[in-house]
Structure 1
Amino acid sequence: MGEVEIVESGSLDTLTMGWESYGKRTRIMMFGARADRHALRNHGRTVAIEDSAVSVFYRPRQERSELENHGIDHANASFQFVDVAMADLGRWMQPLIGQGWSRGEVEIVAASNASFETEKWTCFHHPAMIPPSEIPLSESPSSMTRKAFVTHPGPILDDASESAMDAIVSSMMSEITPVEDEKPEDVAEQPVEVEEIVAEPETEPIPLSEEDVPPVVEQKEESPLEAELRQVISLLLAGGQEMGDIMEHPQFVEVSERASAAGVDVWGMFVRLSDG
């Protein structure tokens, strides 16, 4: 599972600068209940992602009255903004979708005391927290500087070096308490019965023709593009999207175009996942 590093001061823009060169990334808003804030802080420890992710929390202050006008009770709401690799989005959200979280779209607009361009965010929200179409904030989520939670992929034992493995084995062996061999009690010798061995008649194998031998099916390794397409379709399905809506969703359209150009059977994968 992931390891969470706490950075005392940072923003999504500064902490993820240059990460796009290692793979496509996306940003989402997590609109939860205040009671879930501790769990959301440690959410990275519960998922197995392949690339680092960054999240920051925002606590409204000057814009509280404006939020109330939009139907948001700031005392009961939690605002978290996450930068995650596109390939990890499904892994990040799957546990929460299983708890009833849903997907939507919101616009982050500048509050009366702020000035920045309107930002459109994909928003995943707690079933008890329904976000409005617009959320006024005093800072842009991308540039707000706060305590940040950086989730790194957890250690994989298969990738451990020999020296690390030796240290692990040595540590395990040192915890094992040696047990003295128990001396067996004297047991009176019993006569050993010898069973008579009866030779079984040999049977000749029945020869098989080439037609009777089933062909060996080789498992085709899934490409990174196929994995990304699968993640996008699974995430949209889990979020309650209908088949027609998924086919028109910008996220699906973008990845399906790249997959089709690479020769991936997009429609076949779509049908298999939607039927499952």
Structure 2
Amino acid sequence: MIPDMTIGQLTTEASSRWGEIWDPRATRMTILLLCPRKERKMMELHGDMIEHGQPVMAVFHRPRAEAHLLEEQGFDPRAASFQFVNIATADMGPWMQQLVNNEGWLRSSIALNPTPFSVGLPSQRPFEAVQTLCFRHPSLPALEQYFLPYPAESLPGKCFVSLPRRAAAEMARQQAEVLGVGRLEKPQPPAPEPAPEPQPAPVAEAPSESQETEASEAEEPASQTPPEDTAEPPAEEHVSVPLPPTAKPDPAPAQAETPVPLPPTPGEASTESPAEDAPGDGELSGSENIDLPEVVEEAEEISELEVELRAFFQELIDAGVEPSAFMDDPRWEDISERAVAEGLETWPILLQMTAMG
């Protein structure tokens, strides 16, 4: 039993709480069990008598302000205990088999609806109504709707958790080993054998006078014998080999010195510059004396019609006629038609002559 917990919170913490016992890929569902109130204790311990593979989480809910909603359906809320069980679908058969076969529990469907706000609960939140399975004791009437302030997975209270037997036993054994409870004591290593006491070393006896004299006599002949002269091998004589004479390089023939002219001094440069500039002046003078060819302007050819038109305009200008009245002259119509036929523009000629006049 875990106090102040919800099924949703346990589901979130299942992997960290139960490790390998919890299978996050298993399909689970929440069902409602209706049992007589006197049998509530048996329902709390029901998981201890059932073999199941996944943890089973359950929480009890007691209707208070919403009790009248159950009474309207003909159900006495004080006669039953309401237990929501979150279980894996694979374990639902073993979990309900004894209740259905031996005690005659009945199966039905029930709608879990949010409590209406008109009831006036101090805390509640809306949620979508769901349809789930309901198993009830045969002594209890059927119930079609049940009202909750929160979803079934969010109901706070005492959560009863039933773990699989084998997995729970293995988990308990592992926890006991971690905590050091029930662990076998390790055999203590045998006590080391005491080291034997060191025995005192035997005292060496001092040699007698007779032994000392014999040893000294034996050493004297050895010291009197002269050491044998060891013949040293003759040292090898180094034969010097003369080196061949090196040929001296012939002195390189002296190269003929080529005289390099020195740059002229400023005085010399000033004296030579007029002579050097003379040809240039001659060229300039020669270029000035070159006669340019005369440009012959080509005389523009004027057609007879243009001559006649100019004479017509000049006559009117000399007579003092205004240019705007030139068109009133009877000769203008004939001259204008012939000018249009030959492509002669009369207006530029009129402007030119009036500007000159």
How big is the shift at 1:112? 2.0
By how many angstroms is 1:156 displaced? 6.6
1:11 is matched with 6
Contact 1:66–1:111 (Cα < 8 Å) also in 2: no
- State the match for 1:100 in structure 2: 104
Would the aligned equivalents of 1:9 and 1:147 in 2 still touch at CA under 8 Å?
yes
1:67 maps onto 2:78 in alignment: no
1:173 alignment partner in structure 2? none
TM-superposition CA deviations, 1:57-102 (whole Å, max 9, x none): 0011110111111222111111000111111111111111121011
Structure with bigger gyration radius: 2
Which gives a bigger RCO, structure 1 or 2 (Cα 8 Å, sep 6+)? 1
Q: Contact 1:106 / 1:131 at 8 angstroms: preserved in 2?
A: no
5+ residue gaps, structure 1, are 1-5, 171-276
1:25 offset after TM fit, Å?
A: 1.3
Please give the secondary structure, in 1, of the residue aligned with 2:152.
coil
TM superposition shift of 1:55: 0.2
Tell me how far apart the structure 2 counterparts of residues 78 and 29 of structure 1 sit (CA, whole Å): 10
- Could you say which structure has the higher helix fraction? 2
Instruction: Name the SS for the 2:60 alignment partner.
Output: strand
Q: Does 1:126 align with 2:126?
A: no
* RMSD of aligned Cα (Å): 2.7
Superposition pairs of residues 9-88 of structure 1, within 5 angstroms: 9-17=4-12, 21-88=24-91
Preserved CA contact (<8 Å) 2:23 2:54: no
- Relative to structure 1, the CA distance from residue 58 to residue 69 in structure 2 (aligned partners, 3 Å threshold; closer, same or farther) is same
| Identity in percent | 30
* Corresponding letter in the other structure for 1:74: P
* TM-score of the two chains, using structure 1 as the length reference: 0.53
**d(CA) in 2 for partners of 1:169 and 1:154?**
23
**1:153-201: per-residue Cα shift (whole Å, max 9, x none)?**
113799678x98xx6999xxxxxxxxxxxxxxxxxxxxxxxxxxxxxxx
Q: Count residues in correspondence.
A: 162
Equivalent AA in structure 2 for residue 14 of structure 1: Q
- Say whether the 8 Å CA contact 2:26–2:88 is kept in structure 1: yes
TM-score if structure 2 supplies the norm length?
0.41
Q: Distance in 2 between matches of 1:60 and 1:31?
A: 13
- Tell me how far 1:124 sits from its aligned partner: 0.8
1:14-66 per-residue CA deviation (whole Å, 9 max, x = no partner) reads 21137672311122110111111111111111111111010000011110111
Give the aligned residue type for 2:69: E
Q: Pick from 146, 159, 164 the counterpart of residue 148 of structure 1.
A: 159
Instruction: State the shift of 1:13 in Å.
Output: 1.5
Q: Secondary structure at 2:39's aligned position in 1?
A: helix
Partner of 1:225: none
Distance 1:24-1:97 versus aligned 2 partners, 3 A rule? same
Q: Quote the residue 1:91 is aligned against.
A: 94
- Comparing both structures, which one devotes a greater share of its residues to strand? 1
Gaps of 5+ in 2: 15-21, 118-123, 186-357
